[in-house]
A and B are shown apart, each in its own frame.
Chain A
Amino acid sequence: MTVQPLLSARGIGKQFAGVEVLRDVDLDLMPGEIHALLGENGAGKSTFAKIVAGVHRPTRGSLTLNGKPVDVASPIVAQRLGITLIHQEPISFPDLSVAENLVLGRHDGAALSRVPWAAMTRDARALMDQLGVTIDVTRPMRGLSIADQQMVEIARALASDSRLIIMDEPTAPLTPKEVATLFTIARRLRDEGRTIVFISHRLEEVRALCDRVTIFRDGNKVATDTIAKLTDTDIIRLMIGRQVNEYAAKQAHALGDVALAVTGLTSPGLFRDISFTVRKGEIVGLGGLVGAGRTDVARALFGIAPAASGSIAVNGRAVTIRDPAQAIRLGLAFVPEDRAQAGIFRTLPVDHNITTAVPGRIAPRGWISRMLERALANDQIAKLRIRLAALRQPIGELSGGNQQKAILARWLLTDPQVLILDEPTRGIDLGVKAEFYEMIGALAADGRAILLISSELPELLALCDRVLVMAEGRLTADLARGQATQETIMQAAVPRAARAGAAA
């Protein structure tokens, strides 16, 4: 007789605003196993975890818990069913005590029923003892380290006697010692017969901890197997093994002088010893996994969060960049990754959004000329083929791709010599993507230096003259066009203990 799975997922699918992010996933989680979910950014592993934990509702498919069909309608339902999702940076109530955080939402009771402080504290202490951690349960959550906060979350899972504990990239913010503690506890929980789902990018951790592994790619489950049967190369191949989409490959053209040179750029805790150059007319890709420090490098270059040490030279001249205004004067432009937060002025009209970086050109004598502003904006809208209803429309009403074009238009008006693009095509549909690639190619052909941060390997391969790869804050590869393949980039992007040791 075979063991009954704790949780069975059948045909799970999920769409966000019409975009399919998860397709027809079947997965069995067994009692007493640690099961890894692996995949590139956006492969669907976190979405799957969130569906199991009631954060998202699946568009299609069903879940069975202990043989009974269940509808995990909300995180509260999940908790009652014994499913707990532990976020990388746990959600907690910073002003409440650790003990209160453990029980909040667990007890139902009348509004005016008494809070049993003494019993609550006693139970919380017992849980901490069970986990073998020393956290004062009467202190507030605020100020606890991330590791300790995760421990509190695990304790909370135990308090509600969760049979399934999902950890979404728990180790990323932890020190090696904290990781070791976490693993010890995870193994102990497994030996008690609980199921742990472990989401991570770090292969060596998955190997050290997990029994089985499921690999996601582009919203599909591509493989489930015991970890011992797969080599690192197998796993990486499974993670990226999609067809390389055929984008119009970049036209070769002559490169000019070095436009941007970075030497030994270091920002403690974010990135270390980053050195590279970008020449005029060159597109240099910057690949790596989310959290590798790519955006931090871009923010340092643009003066948003200047690096602690290292030097930057623009057009051969050493410069120090302390704030974005200075970066703009030096001919740099930065199209940020999170356009909703850092890119657009949502409620302002499209034309304001486009002309906002060049006040001098629309207000030659100190006051804004509506005519100049309109002409300038219209010009850009035609050039970049931005689709909109009216020039005075709030930019928030435009589609993501057109918002992104408007931001690009803004920076093109400053006539930048060095253009830093951070995930410029994220969340943009395919047609607009192709237009973007053409535009980026044309900008390079025009003699501009372009640094393109992207998590999409086909994008890097199609567009870039050179691909730099970062992992855990360091540059791990500098690949010429001929050398760069999906495999070589991924090999350099996946953090591995061995390489970290060799580089130190």
Chain B
Amino acid sequence: MNLLRALLMRREAGIAVMIILFCLAVGLYKPQFLTLNSLRIILLLVPLIMIGAMGQMLVITARHVDLSIGSIMAVAAMASGMMFRFAPEIWWPLGFALSVGTGAVLGLFNGLLVTLFRLPAIIVTLGTLNLYRGLTFIMSDARQIDRQYVPSALKAMSQTSPIFGIPWIIFMMFGVALLTYWFAMHSRMGRQIYALGSNPVAAPLRGIDVTRVTLVVFAISGALAGLAGIMYASRWGFVNPSNTGNGFEFQVIAAVIIGGVSINGGSGTVLGTVLGVLLLGCVAAALPLLGIPGAAQNSIYGAVILVALLIDRLVRRQGLKAMVGARA
């Protein structure tokens, strides 16, 4: 009973309830939504967002934001795609190393701008969002990497499964989430990220190397965006300089915010972020089923974020009232 209450008190409970209510509501109207097959569809929609969201969660927890991840994803995917086109015989897993490395370097560049010049991350990454997107065009001569250049073993990761018919990329996304969980909750650096976001003024007074933590956070966000880039190539089988990663940052930040990560830094959980991503996935899977045209999807996404934030605010205000009442 106590355990149940403790679970319900957690912020994640609210998101879980939202997911269940949403699925039941859709299921009432379209029963086929409540099948294993649609779970498969949902899970296949979200791996890239999930991986991007893990990095973004850390960045937002440190009281920054990374708007450039969509462009980083594109540069990283394009780098690997060009490598595959140039050297078709190359050992394909090298693409992972190249994309993740490229992403980490670009993320580090963001971090350097933020720390060296004390610029707000929202401005820096808005700039690099465009800078990196332009880089994609320059390096590729605005040419798409077509299907035949993407190694079939890489593409197979999104289709073939080691077990239970669940494709590799779904295992990968949960693997990244678990690693992020360990890093955030059980490593010293992870806890320093939370401390920095919780009180940036006090952090240096307690011996936290703010520059280092900030650089690490942006590098991780970039590296994970790079990982999402190579997985994009796997999932869709092509890399396009203008489409790949376009609007990615919006979906990722939406998922993170829905997942209860405070934009004011200091609080955010991997579980909440995972649930936020899944809620977004449910909405994305339900829209076509409900016959909502693709053109309206962005509006629906936006509305979902606002509703989620509103519910969260109402819940928290109630919680606050309860607390104040208890003290008086």
Interface residues of A (CB under 8 A from B): 74-76, 79, 91-96, 100, 104-105, 107, 109-115, 117, 143
Contacts and interface: CB of A to CB of B under 8 A. Distances in A.
A240 to B, nearest CB: 34
Nearest to A113: B188
A75 B199 contact: no
19 contacts: A75-B206, A91-B201, A93-B194, A93-B198, A93-B266, A95-B198, A95-B266, A104-B195, A104-B208, A105-B206, A111-B189, A111-B216, A112-B187, A112-B188, A113-B188, A114-B186, A115-B187, A115-B188, A117-B186
B323 interface: yes
Closest 8 CB pairs of A and B: A105-B206, A95-B266, A111-B189, A105-B207, A95-B198, A93-B198, A91-B202, A76-B207
Contacts of A95: 194, 197-198, 262, 266-267
B205 interface: yes
Contact of B187 (A91, A114, A143): A114
B323 A143 contact: yes
Given A100-B195, A112-B187, 16 more contacts: A75-B205, A76-B207, A91-B202, A92-B199, A93-B199, A93-B203, A94-B198, A95-B266, A95-B267, A96-B198, A105-B206, A107-B188, A112-B188, A113-B187, A114-B187, A115-B191
Nearest to B205: A75
A93 B61 CA distance: 13
Nearest to B203: A93
B202 A93 contact: yes
B316 to A, nearest CB: 12
A93 B202 CA distance: 8
B188 A105 contact: no
B207 A110 contact: no
Nearest to A90: B202
A76 to B, nearest CB: 4
B188 A109 contact: yes
Contacts of B267: 95
Interface size class of B (residues with CB under 8 A): 20 to 34
Interface of B: 183, 185-191, 194-195, 197-199, 201-203, 205-208, 216, 262, 266-267, 323
B188 A111 contact: yes
A105 B266 contact: no
B111 to A, nearest CB: 15
A104 B198 contact: no
A107 B188 CA distance: 9
Contacts of B190: 115
A92 B198 CA distance: 9
A94 B208 contact: no
A143 to B, nearest CB: 6
B188 A96 contact: no
A91 B187 CA distance: 23
A91 B195 CA distance: 12
Nearest to B324: A143
A35 to B, nearest CB: 24
Nearest to B323: A143
B269 to A, nearest CB: 11
Contacts of A117: 186
A94 B202 CA distance: 11
A96 B194 contact: yes
Nearest to A78: B205
Given A115-B186, A117-B186, A104 B199 contact: no
A94 B199 CA distance: 8
Contacts of A93: 194-195, 198-199, 202-203, 266
Pick the most buried of B186, B194, B195, B206: most chain A CB atoms within 10 A of its CB: B206
A115 B195 CA distance: 14
> Which interface residue of B187, B198, B216, B323 has the most chain A CB atoms within 10 A?
B198
Contacts of B197: 95
Given A91-B201, A104-B206, A110 B191 contact: no
A109 B199 CA distance: 21
A457 B45 CA distance: 72
Nearest to A145: B327
A100 B206 CA distance: 12
Nearest to A141: B198
Contact of B191 (A76, A79, A94, A100): A100
A105 B197 CA distance: 15
* Chain B CB within 10 Å, residue with most, of A93, A105, A115, A143: A93
A452 B190 CA distance: 51
B153 to A, nearest CB: 31
Contacts of A113: 187-188
Contacts of B194: 93, 95-96
Contacts of B195: 93, 96, 100, 104
B250 to A, nearest CB: 26
B205 A91 contact: yes
A96 B199 CA distance: 10
B189 A96 contact: no
A111 B220 CA distance: 14
Nearest to A93: B198
Contacts of A79: 207
Please indicate which of the listed interface residues A74, A79, A105 has the most CB atoms of chain B within 10 Å of its own CB.
Answer: A105
A117 B188 CA distance: 11
B60 to A, nearest CB: 13
A367 B267 CA distance: 47
Nearest to A91: B202
A112 B206 contact: no
A343 B185 CA distance: 44
A105 B201 CA distance: 14
Contacts of B207: 76, 79, 105
A93 B267 CA distance: 11
B58 to A, nearest CB: 13
Contacts of A143: 323
B323 A110 contact: no
Contacts of B202: 91-93
B206 A76 contact: yes
B26 to A, nearest CB: 35
Nearest to B199: A93
B156 to A, nearest CB: 33
B322 to A, nearest CB: 11
A96 B190 CA distance: 12
A111 B191 CA distance: 10
B273 to A, nearest CB: 16
A79 B183 CA distance: 27
Nearest to A109: B188
B187 A111 contact: yes
A116 to B, nearest CB: 9
Contacts of B183: 112
A153 to B, nearest CB: 12
A110 B199 contact: no
A110 B188 contact: yes
